[in-house]
Homo-oligomer: A and B are copies of this chain.
Amino acid sequence: MNRENDLQSAAPPHATREAILAAALDAYSKFGFRGATTRRIAEAAGVNEVTIFRHFGSKDTLLGEALRSIPADELHTRLPEEPRDPAAELSAWSEDQLAHLRGKRSMIRTCMGEIEERPEMTDCAATVPRAAFAELCRYLVRLREAGMAFTDFDERVTAVTLMGALFSDAMGREMMPEIYPPTDRAAREYSGLVLRAIGADDNTRAAFADATGAPRG
């Protein structure tokens, strides 16, 4: 058995292994679990099919490991601790989220399609949006505490609504491009609408600027 041996031979230590994992991820996101055949993965990785089994034992193990290796991706644009320009800040953050969702839409769609049949394999899909939700909620609370928004809005509903709009845009634009705003304006529009709903848009803030300081306080 060739287990527990981290001192391989070839130039980059785990080159073959990484190539297989990458190819597996790619095949899975394109064709789903059933469509990600070991033959297809081997070809894409430029590796003999048996090498896959020698490394991972089974297709299930391989794909499980590949999917578990994702989350260590990259952390995204953070929302500032002290909000100054909500419109600009939230728009930039939304743009970033949208870019991430668009880039991973193939994988996200596949995971969604398989979540009922293989729930354990698709956990990975939840970690990023969960983190984004938490981050967004914190920012909205800070907005309120800074007197830059109404005092009585529900930050969770607000956060989930914005994220829903971004998610729907990333998933549905290819299928129904007519119903979405132009790509370059989309993030700004969604975040703008949400800010208007909580009284954190420029107009509302200006109107309340010289009053109590916080609208609806």
Contacts and interface: CB of A to CB of B under 8 A. Distances in A.
A133 B179 contact: yes
A180 B167 CA distance: 14
B168 A163 contact: yes
A31 interface: yes
Interface string A44-71: 0000000000000000000000000000
Interface stretch (A4-12, A17-25, A78-86, A110-118): A110-118
Contact of A117 (B35, B130, B179): B35
A103 interface: no
A129 B176 contact: yes
Given A106-B116, A156-B181, A159-B179, 5 more contacts: A32-B32, A34-B35, A160-B179, A161-B190, A167-B171
Contact of A160 (B115, B154, B165, B194): B165
Interface of A: 30-32, 34-35, 106, 109-117, 122, 125-126, 129-130, 133, 154, 156-161, 163-169, 171-172, 174-176, 178-181, 189-190, 193-194, 196-198
A165 B162 CA distance: 7
B116 A113 contact: no
Contact of A125 (B164, B175, B178): B175
Given A171-B112, A197-B196, A190 B157 contact: yes
Nearest to A199: B196
A32 B197 contact: no
A205 to B, nearest CB: 15
A115 to B, nearest CB: 6
B35 A179 contact: no
